Structure 1
Amino acid sequence: MSRPLPSLNALHAFEAAARLGSVSKAAAELHVTHGAVSRHIRSLEEELDLALFQRQGRGLALTAAGQRLRDASTAAFAQLRDTVESLRPEAGHAPFVLGCPVSLLARWMIPRLERLMAELPELSLHLRPQEAPLNDGLEGLDAAVLAGEAPWPPGWRIHPLAAERIGPVVSPGYAQSHGLASDRPALRGQTLLHTLSRPDAWARWASSAGIDPDDLEPGPGFPHLYHLIEATVAGRGIAIAPEPLVANDLASGRLVAPWGFHEVSAQWVLATSVRRSDPRLEPLVAWLKAEFAQ
């Protein structure tokens, strides 16, 4: 006779703690006490006669057995949740909620929205602007598009879309009046603009372009990319910006990129919760990759 499964409550508590890397976070997610999660994990270890966690400094680390059980239990609970959700009558008509930074939403997603709806008609998309940092569980979202780099929150599954490329952009008038030549970056003494959310963007670009970051003196910062671009178009200085978000300005001639764009360590990704899967996700990832490639 096959042995029965351990308590599902114990497995659920272990899965949450292993995925989140914290008993306290697991307790908050499951709406139980810290002690309840600890007792479930202890009873599971006793039943399996295996150590699933080991102390590492002031935190916990999974053992090899714990890693195997985490992978299996996370996948199993995700499949169970998805199946139950798919059985609900309204599941097939629920909108797909996609979070986007405000600048990406306004300057990249919305201009492509009509084409997205035409090419993925089964995707009832709801776009949600994101100003604040996203939390570990991506609560309220099915997925989020963003630029960043590892380490990612433990509760996220990352779908890479494209390497991030950034570069200096400037108005044609500013480039002409300041004698900016395309064959060599001449940035010493120039007014270098940036967004407050990316204060290190100039240094990152300089390193990728083979320029000593210490030779640059970043100037005024702006709270949003929209303000940064409009200040640049008005001739206030040279801005550093992601290529996809200024592509239309370059195409229209409002801005020029005298020294091109360089890849940095960050990348554009689609983030989803490890606890969820959705059949609409794969076509969306493919569509986003194709659009970024253009």
Structure 2
Amino acid sequence: MDPLTYFLDGPRAVGAFALAMHMNAPWAIRVDDNAALTVVAVTRGHARVDDVLLTAGDVALIRGPDAYIVTDEAASAPSIEIGPGQSCTTLDGRDLRDELRHGIRRWGNAAEGETSLLVGTYERPDEAGGLVARALPRLTIVPHNRSDGTLIGLLERELATDDPAAQVVVDRLLDVLVISTIRSWVEDPSRAGEATWLTCSDPLVARALESLHAEPAAPWTVESLARHVNTSRASLAARFRTSVGEPPMAYLTRWRLTIAGDLLHSPGTTVSEVARSVGYNNAYAFSTAFKRQVGTTPSEFRLRRPALSTAS
């Protein structure tokens, strides 16, 4: 199984914040919602994401949690701010939610604007595919000639539907659109960027990644992994760093702790059980490693799980 195939285990949108945005110039929005991943598809007109111009059919993936700016073609100064929980205010704090709402999933300064965008947000890293989202550049652009117009059209249609079941369909369409967009980005021969496991093309390293992904709790070392893929320790270490951008054991640690983050949000699991399932026999060592990577202890991480947003 190639490394990209593991992306099919994420994302998993659950009650995702998703809407169709209709804007007439001038307009500009500062987004500081701390979301893990946001997808923006332009269906009409032009928009800029952090000064990168998008045209109809282009799709952008924005990796959080850092703030970014979405503006009209002229790059107007922001007058609207989106905050955590998808709060919507003027820069001085006046609530704009009712003023800019045009339906359950329609929003903007015009009912039918010269520019239309589809926006979907994954608030938590576990929803966005964890390590996958972190392997992306901060801004991933797939142009209209490589994006999936059929998926974009289906999502646009569902966002215009008031049917109570539409949210489930929107969640799944968002997942497929993100997967399709990343696949197009990875397969684009003109793509430039740092090496990550998503873009690995070395077959030996791909086999090593497959082994780490399949058995993350196994007691891997560089030596044992090299034997497993029939190469020398030095060769594996060098080729892995070149293809993935970090050493094998550093990658394994991040992979284990990413899985652990997802498991900590599973009902009924204890920290000790999560630790063992990702290869840590000592809960204290697991907690120390988790805090070093995530910034909080496993127990704190579990308690800080944010509430789900809705588009209403």
TM-score normalised per structure 2: 0.25
Greater C-alpha Rg: 1
